[in-house]
């Protein structure tokens, strides 16, 4: 035996961190002779022989041989070296005296049942990652780390197989385990690449579909534990949560058909275009009662969702986090697979198919992205290498108080690279059009949801999380530079300045910010009995004081229709469904005609009565009733109006696009305002009446001529009483009103919003 007893023991006790130094073929001195030593550790092997691969005359030298400066021997027949079994677990060794040149070979294995297999040796290959790769990953500047880490089907040194790489710097040993080695950590020990903290192995001939995890021996524990691959693109369903080797490219790759969409997107300035976003949860939009009430698959969604969104007029769809997560009840917000579309609805290729179908229907795709925190599940990122690797060690920094999750350590280069790589991978691999970034406020402030003494100030003694701020700036800059026309949207609930200001001007660089203050104020107002709304009239008008401090999307999201808050319909205070629907229609018209982009959660568009439930379908049967179908029609027509008069969107993020006409009619709960394009080619007059009293009212307008009633939420086709202005109203130049030279005398139906467009 050439291998020393301590060296053999390091393998048998699974503490060996340099397996490639011993396994495979190496030049060595043994028993006073120089030669080649070969070793292999093989599962269920009764016998093992090393068989030379002799290149045919004229063949190129195999790369793993040529890079070791070996010679090719002219041989009549390949050499066969029997290996001696050193241990019953399948540890073999052999020595070929007098040889100085490593050569290419295979292992011929005889199993205990007599079966014979011939395989390439994983330990005969040089690393798949180079020094430059490792340097950039550790520096945090390799933003495409998903092309280096994880599992990748590659051709390496002329051999097809799977390259595995994982970052676990504190680990004493990392093994690749899976269904290809009976989940036994002895047989695919990984090598550590210098001081990078990255462990790597290439497994020849392994194919897509293999299930695997990493078995890690931490510095503090004698017992190894299993972790899923943080960079995997596909996972096994819970409770096992194994990573799955998946080939995104190759012969089975999705053939994209959205080149025209992407080219047009790159030229689009979305600040000057209508954006109406349909927020949805993939698992509960529609279900299949005849098949166990299962959710629709990605491909089933691809046949139904685009048509529905086109009919209702939305420009974009936003998916609650589609990344892999173990617990359905988290709605996707406790992510364990930051690079993987969840397997619940199909494969990564199926998700691509859905995105492609949406693009074919001219619908943009936004996904919720969750870089603020991650769950404590033992198989995932928490304590990944036995230390606080992705999270802070100090719970005052690393534990999220509200959700029981862990906070990323944004000060660590590799963690930032991991998260930025996740964001970019969704654009690169899956052709998405935007990210809605969850819980940004919790990232910006070190004292978010913490009491005195429960947080650590930054280096200047302040409460801002400087590392998280820098991370967000970098992520936004890279998304916008690499994917022109892409959107990034912040869910940010504080008054942090510059969320949508460009990074070059000191801002965070988001395109849009959810207008949470406006949402809370208006919902509080509309939930009051109309008799008392006059006392809260300022809740409708106050938002204009800060409307242009950021670039906003007005939003009524999933958070407003869960946890006892009631559905949008049932937030309306009236006693019967018809009156509630009438109130909701008027409120939605106010929402859509207010400046800013639009975001509405699924089910709200037809006034679902029940709160949203993540494990049930929306109540589509309600559309047979006019109260619900009428709400849907109003949303459809508002979207149509918004998109047809797209000139308004050009200046909807600047004050020139909005003008109050009547803001102080609190006693009547009436509002009137103008929406106008920059050149006045399109002008709307919007008048809201939030009381159940029909009024005849004179409203001042800036232009003479005819004004057409283009939307009336009290119309009979929406389920309303049918009162209104029935077409065109002419401006009266004899009666100036509201400090304007002309006026309209209009019918303002009870609990309604009416929209007039100036006829050119």
pLDDT, tens digit, 9 for 90 and up, residues 192-220: 999 999 999 999 999 999 999 999 999 88
Tokens read off for 155: 């051709």
- Give the CA-trace dihedral at 553, 556, 558, 561, to 10 degrees: 170
What is the reported pLDDT for 62? Answer: 44
d(CA 511, CA 513): 7
Q: What is the average per-residue pLDDT within 166-175? A: 97
User: Radius of gyration of the chain from Cα atoms?
Assistant: 32
CB 355 within 8 A of CB 310: no
Sheet architecture: strand order including 150-156? 150-156, 159-167, 198-204, 191-192
Query: pLDDT confidence of 31, banded at 50, 70, 90?
Result: confident
Q: Do domains 5-124 and 131-244 have the same CATH topology?
A: yes
Q: What is the average per-residue pLDDT within 180-197? A: 95
Q: Which residue has the higher pLDDT, 214 or 401?
A: 214
What is the reported pLDDT for 576? Answer: 95
Coil, helix or strand for 340? strand
> Residue 335: pLDDT above 90?
yes
Residue 116: how many other CB atoms lie within 10 Å: 10
> Residue 79: pLDDT above 90?
no
pLDDT in tens, 435-453: 999 999 999 999 999 999 8
d(CA 308, CA 324): 26
For residue 37, what is the enclosing H or E element?
strand 33-41
Q: What is the average per-residue pLDDT within 40-60? A: 79
The superfamily CATH assigns to domain 131-244 is Immunoglobulins (2.60.40.10)
Tokens read off for 621: 């049967």
**Candidate list 279, 350, 438, 521, residue with the active-site label:** 438
What is the reported pLDDT for 74? Answer: 52
Q: Which of 42-56, 82-96, 541-555, 675-689 has the lowest mean pLDDT?
A: 42-56
Query: pLDDT confidence of 532, banded at 50, 70, 90?
Result: very high
Residue keyed to tokens 């395989």: 119
Q: What is the average per-residue pLDDT within 403-414? A: 95
What is the reported pLDDT for 323? Answer: 98
- Give the CA-trace dihedral at 736, 742, 745, 750, to 10 degrees: -100
Q: Which residue has the higher pLDDT, 33 or 483?
A: 483
> Residue 63: pLDDT above 60?
no
The superfamily CATH assigns to domain 5-124 is Immunoglobulins (2.60.40.10)
Please provide the DSSP assignment of 390-430 as one string: SB-SSHHHHB-TTTS-B-B-TTSHHHHHHHHHHHHHHHHHH
Active site residue 454: no
CA distances from 573 to 536, 611, 714, 755 (A): 15, 16, 18, 24
DSSP-assigned beta bridge partners for residue 708: 728, 757
Nearest to residue 613, comparing CAs of 680, 574, 567, 556?
567
d(CA 231, CA 371): 14
Residue 292: how many other CB atoms lie within 10 Å: 7
d(CA 282, CA 291): 17
pLDDT in tens, 276-291: 999 999 999 999 999 9
CB 602 within 8 A of CB 618: yes
Coil, helix or strand for 547? coil
Percent of the chain with pLDDT over 70: 97
CATH number, domain 655-758, options 2.60.40.3080, 2.60.40.1180, 1.20.1250.20, 2.40.110.10 = 2.60.40.1180
CA distances from 388 to 158, 411, 412, 732 (A): 39, 13, 11, 72
Q: Which of 251-255, 292-296, 302-306 has the lowest mean pLDDT?
A: 251-255
Q: What is the average per-residue pLDDT within 644-654? A: 94
Instruction: Round the average pLDDT of the chain to a whole number and report it.
Output: 94
Helices 413-430, 466-482: crossing angle, 10 deg rounding: 30
In sign, the C-alpha dihedral spanning 555, 557, 562, 566 is positive
What is the reported pLDDT for 577? Answer: 97
Write down the domain spans for the chain. 5-124, 131-244, 655-758
d(CA 605, CA 753): 17
> Residues 41, 42, 45, CA angle at the centre, nearest 5°?
130
Helices (H) and strands (E) in the chain, counts: 15, 35
Tokens read off for 641: 């109006």
CB 733 within 8 A of CB 721: no
Query: pLDDT confidence of 30, banded at 50, 70, 90?
Result: confident
d(CA 398, CA 372): 11
CB 228 within 8 A of CB 380: yes
pLDDT in tens, 501-525: 999 999 999 999 999 999 999 999 9
Q: What is the average per-residue pLDDT within 128-152? A: 93
What is the longest distance spanned by two Cα atoms in the chain? 116
Side-chain-side CA neighbours of residue 285 (13 Å): 24
Q: What is the average per-residue pLDDT within 55-70? A: 45
**Candidate list 157, 350, 491, 652, residue with the active-site label:** 491
Q: What is the average per-residue pLDDT within 117-132? A: 94
Residue 36: how many other CB atoms lie within 10 Å: 22
> Residue 7: pLDDT above 90?
yes
Please provide the DSSP assignment of 311-335 as one string: HHT-SEEEES--EE-S-GGGTT-S-
φ/ψ of 523, rounded to 5, equals -65, -35
Query: pLDDT confidence of 138, banded at 50, 70, 90?
Result: very high
> Residue 333: pLDDT above 50?
yes
Query: pLDDT confidence of 65, banded at 50, 70, 90?
Result: very low
Active site residue 491: yes
Q: Which of 214-223, 520-529, 616-625 has the lowest mean pLDDT?
A: 214-223
Nearest to residue 528, comparing CAs of 561, 573, 560?
573
Q: What is the average per-residue pLDDT within 586-595? A: 98
What is the reported pLDDT for 78? Answer: 82
Please provide the DSSP assignment of 465-522 as one string: -HHHHHHHHHHHHHHHHHSTT-EEEE---S--TTTTS-GGGTS---SEEE-HHHHHHH
Q: What is the average per-residue pLDDT within 384-406? A: 93
| DSSP 8-class letter at 639 | H
d(CA 392, CA 369): 20
């Amino acid at each position: 035996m050439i291998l020393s007893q301590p060296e053999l023991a390091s393998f048998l006790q699974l503490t060996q961190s340099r397996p490639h130094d011993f396994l495979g073929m190496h030049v060595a001195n043994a028993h006073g002779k120089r030669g080649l030593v070969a070793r292999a550790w093989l599962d269920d092997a009764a016998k093992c022989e090393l068989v030379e691969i002799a290149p045919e005359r004229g063949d190129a030298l195999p790369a793993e041989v040529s890079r070791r400066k070996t010679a090719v021997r002219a041989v009549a027949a390949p050499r066969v070296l029997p290996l001696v079994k050193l241990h019953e677990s399948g540890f073999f060794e052999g020595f070929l005296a007098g040889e100085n040149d490593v050569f290419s070979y295979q292992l011929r294995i005889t199993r205990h049942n007599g079966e014979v297999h011939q395989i390439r040796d994983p330990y005969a290959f040089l690393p798949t990652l180079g020094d430059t790769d490792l340097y950039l990953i550790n520096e945090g500047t390799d933003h495409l780390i998903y092309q280096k880490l994880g599992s990748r089907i590659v051709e390496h040194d002329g051999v097809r197989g799977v390259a595995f790489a994982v970052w676990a710097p504190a680990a004493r040993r990392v093994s690749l385990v899976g269904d290809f080695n009976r989940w036994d950590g002895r047989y695919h020990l990984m090598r550590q690449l210098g001081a990078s903290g990255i462990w790597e192995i290439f497994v020849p001939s392994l194919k897509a579909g293999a299930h695997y995890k990493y078995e890690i021996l931490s510095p503090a524990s004698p017992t190894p534990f299993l972790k899923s691959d943080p960079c995997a693109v596909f996972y096994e369903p819970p409770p096992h949560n194994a990573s799955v080797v998946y080939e995104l490219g190759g012969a089975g790759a999705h053939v994209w058909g959205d080149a025209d969409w992407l080219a047009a997107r790159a030229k689009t300035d979305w600040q000057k275009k209508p954006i109406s976003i349909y927020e949805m949860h993939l698992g509960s939009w529609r279900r299949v009662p005849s098949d166990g009430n299962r959710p629709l698959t990605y491909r089933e969604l691809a046949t139904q969702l685009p048509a529905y969104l086109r009919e209702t007029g939305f420009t974009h769809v936003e998916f609650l986090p589609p990344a892999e997560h173990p617990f359905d009840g988290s709605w996707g917000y406790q992510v364990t697979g930051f690079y993987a579309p969840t397997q619940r609805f199909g494969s990564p290729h199926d998700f691509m198919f859905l995105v492609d179908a949406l693009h074919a229907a001219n619908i943009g795709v936004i996904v919720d992205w969750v870089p603020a925190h991650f769950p404590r599940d033992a198989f995932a990122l928490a304590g990944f290498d036995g230390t606080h690797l992705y999270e802070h060690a100090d719970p005052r920094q690393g534990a999220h108080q509200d959700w029981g999750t862990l906070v990323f350590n944004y000060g660590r280069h590799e963690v930032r690279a991991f998260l930025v790589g996740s964001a970019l991978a969704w654009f690169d691999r899956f052709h998405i059009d935007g990210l809605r970034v969850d819980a940004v406020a919790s990232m910006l402030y070190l004292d978010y949801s913490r009491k005195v003494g429960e947080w650590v100030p930054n280096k200047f003694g302040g409460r801002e999380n400087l590392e998280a701020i820098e991370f967000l700036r970098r992520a936004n800059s890279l998304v916008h530079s690499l994917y022109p026309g892409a959107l990034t949207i912040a869910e940010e609930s504080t008054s942090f300045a510059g969320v949508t200001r460009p990074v070059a001007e000191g801002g965070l660089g988001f395109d849009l910010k959810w207008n949470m203050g406006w949402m809370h104020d208006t919902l509080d107002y509309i939930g009051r009995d109309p008799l008392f709304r006059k006392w809260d009239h300022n809740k409708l008008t106050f938002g204009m004081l800060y409307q242009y401090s950021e670039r906003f999307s007005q939003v009524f999201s999933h958070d407003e229709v869960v946890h006892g808050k009631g559905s949008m319909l049932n937030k309306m205070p009236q006693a019967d469904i018809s009156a509630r629907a009438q109130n909701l229609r008027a409120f939605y018209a106010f929402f859509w005609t207010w400046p800013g982009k639009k975001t509405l959660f699924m089910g709200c568009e037809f006034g679902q009565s029940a709160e949203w439930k993540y494990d049930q379908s929306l109540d589509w049967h309600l559309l047979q009733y006019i109260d619900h179908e009428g709400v849907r029609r109003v949303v459809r027509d508002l979207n149509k109006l918004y998109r047809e008069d797209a000139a308004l969107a050009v200046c909807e993020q600047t004050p020139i696009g909005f003008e109050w006409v009547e803001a102080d009619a609190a006693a009547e709960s009436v509002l009137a305002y103008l929406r106008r394009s920059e050149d006045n080619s399109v002008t709307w007059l919007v008048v809201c009446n939030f009381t159940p009293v029909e009024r005849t009212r004179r409203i001042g307008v800036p232009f003479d001529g005819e004004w057409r009633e283009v939307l009336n939420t009290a119309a009979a086709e929406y389920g309303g009483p049918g009162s209104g202005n029935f077409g065109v109203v002419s401006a009266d130049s004899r009666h100036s009103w509201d400090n304007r030279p002309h006026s309209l005398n209009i019918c303002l139906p009870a609990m309604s919003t009416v929209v007039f467009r100036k006829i050119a």
